Structure 1
């Protein structure tokens, strides 16, 4: 691992994003984070010498500004999501996750690179990887269909992953990606044993698994810093579950 690597984190003020920032800093990386409200970053992180905070809204940045922030970063991790409020679910921006992914990837291309940079997207086990044959029940398919049309954040998560799959693809010379799919997120104080699968092993609607946010952060940091983990999961959408006792 290169201890001088710099990673750009989107969604660093969120419940998982804060944990990812800590994971990356603890591994000796430099972190840049684009945040609208720096005061939502805990003091213990905000004062870290290897963390640089950029006060801005990702979607309000110009293409030039975005390219400047991405410059020098070997990886970008997006933990962006919609707040679970009426405004957060049904208000604007409805394509927050998708548009942020597109803008970051375009900025990577604008900067150019001698080898592919990494983009890691936090997604959801409720979204199928359409590169694989992931069969789901008729009942689950009906519920997902309703979510797709009635709940904008679900459609946003689908579109963001589809952008990586279809627009970036698996053979891009400038960008490599992975989309991490947790199920039923909850808080836990420390990293615990977890399982990784290419596809869901449970029904995300009727028999969901559980995934602690700190385990999502740990695995995302592994993807960024661990060569073997990246080689195994790049271009894929691994599903992560906490290991059951």
Structure 2
């Protein structure tokens, strides 16, 4: 199985790529900083690296990179700096999601390609009528106005829910929603829920990046896990 990973040189992406390789999968990674990925993982016969910003690639180039991949995973996110949060592209995650799904469809795959999006538990799935307190709605509304990456993540998930949907012939998807991300060296116990079990704003939980990578790798290699969560937006928490 070959998996295309975008954002593979990031803090979560590097851990994901390692776990995919450890499971015997082949990985094609589109990264802006290939040296960071190579430094973290070393050279590997099943890893090919494309040095590019995904949104700088033409539609034709994206179609070529997606071709031959049974799955695509986006670990893209905005850099936590002033330029990363408020500079362009404001819709990095949404636009990459849209263009990658379009590239998958352009290849007319014989069977659906898996698409996994790393999202956020702060993004609610309105199809599930997830309850939100008045205080949290006000805080999220303010964050949406002041912190553009939050709105970007919301729009990316909404695109999968409303534009791709649950019965697309070319794309099957899962949007993984971790809570507050932390660093850890090893995979630990974690739990998966259809919806948040706590307030992402007022009572956030913790999710280690390595656990996010592990769950996404499970989605790639365990058909039962994929069948359980495809077309859904699972929330992942570390078990305390």
> TM-score range with shorter-chain normalisation?
over 0.9
How far apart, CA to CA, are the structure 1 residues paired with 2:9 and 2:121?
22
Say if 2:29 and 2:49, in contact at 8 Å, map to a contact too. yes
Tell whether 2:119 aligns with 1:127. no
Tell whether 2:126 aligns with 1:136. no
Following superposition, the deviation at residue 83 of structure 1 comes to: 0.6
Name the structure 2 match of 1:204. Answer: 200
How far apart, CA to CA, are the structure 1 residues paired with 2:134 and 2:71?
38
Following superposition, the deviation at residue 44 of structure 1 comes to: 5.3
Say if 2:19 and 2:217, in contact at 8 Å, map to a contact too. yes
Identify unmatched segments of 5+ residues in structure 2. Answer: none
Q: How many residues align?
A: 240
Tell whether 2:70 aligns with 1:74. yes
Say if 1:45 and 1:51, in contact at 8 Å, map to a contact too. no
- Give the secondary structure class of the aligned counterpart of 1:41: helix
Identify unmatched segments of 5+ residues in structure 1. Answer: none
CA gap of 1:119–1:138, structure 2 versus 1, over 3 A, is same
What TM-score do you get using the length of structure 1 for normalisation? 0.97
Name the structure 1 match of 2:54. Answer: 58
Name the structure 1 match of 2:154. Answer: 158
Alignment of 1:156-235 (within 5 A): 156-235=152-231
Out of 137, 141, 144, the residue aligned to residue 145 of structure 1 is 141
What TM-score do you get using the length of structure 2 for normalisation? 0.99
